Structure 1
Amino acid sequence: MTDHYDKLVRDQIPEIIERDGETAVTHVADDDEYQRRLCDKLDEETAEFRASGDLEELADVVEVVSAICTSRDIDPDTLKQRRRAKADARGGFADRIVLERVE
């Protein structure tokens, strides 16, 4: 039986598939495709976390964010600094404020 996925997967997934006695048909994405597929993967992992609330899915979201940073030469500390600066300027989400409208 053939299953079609057409998605970015973790590096060891083809080896795991092969160990299970199946054949993984893959290709290596060029830079443009990789950027697009990372964004698709972020959407996928975010949706999975929303559906399950599972810590493993949240870890997957963080892994994709890390890969995006690496692929775009963004230092993780720079991302943390940017997050902190934005939180300092606009706040975080701890107060649970829901904006209904502006009149």
Structure 2
Amino acid sequence: MSEKIYNKLVRDDIPKAIEENNKKCETEIVKGEELKQLLNEKLQEEVQEYLETNDVEELTDIVEVIHGILHHRNVTMKELEDIRIKKKEERGGFTKGVKLVKVY
């Protein structure tokens, strides 16, 4: 049997899906700083996948990782959205395509 080592954060139901495909996997539950690090790595991975594919579905993976980060930081989506709206009201969004070329 071939073995592949991942050592990365996966969606909660991935081990179940692996076993349903008649394979075995080894998992562990991580917490604290290790979880924070793995969530950050997962965010980078998902952003890279989006940049490579430009597939909107990859954005859902980014949002899911953000949900995970917020959960472990005890921040709600509403709190995040409130911060986003405040920042947008103060500085704008990214809908107009403004490219800053120079500042004098």
Which digits, 9 at most, give the CA deviation of each residue in 1:37-87, with x for residues without a partner?
111111001111111111221100000011111110001111001000000
After TM superposition, give the deviation of residue 91 of structure 1 in Å: 0.6
Instruction: Map 1:1-103 onto structure 2 (within 5 A).
Output: 1-103=2-104
**Structure 1 residue ranges without an equivalent (≥5):** none
Which digits, 9 at most, give the CA deviation of each residue in 1:17-48, with x for residues without a partner?
11111111111112111111111111001111
RMSD of Structure 2 on Structure 1 (CA): 0.9
**Structure 2 residue ranges without an equivalent (≥5):** none
Distance 1:98 1:3 in 2: 44
After TM superposition, give the deviation of residue 95 of structure 1 in Å: 1.2
TM norm structure 1: 0.94
After TM superposition, give the deviation of residue 5 of structure 1 in Å: 1.0
Distance 2:31 2:74 in 1: 16
Amino acid in structure 2 at the alignment position of 1:28: I
Amino acid in structure 2 at the alignment position of 1:81: D
TM norm structure 2: 0.94
3-state SS of the aligned residue for 2:65? helix
User: Number of matched residues?
Assistant: 103
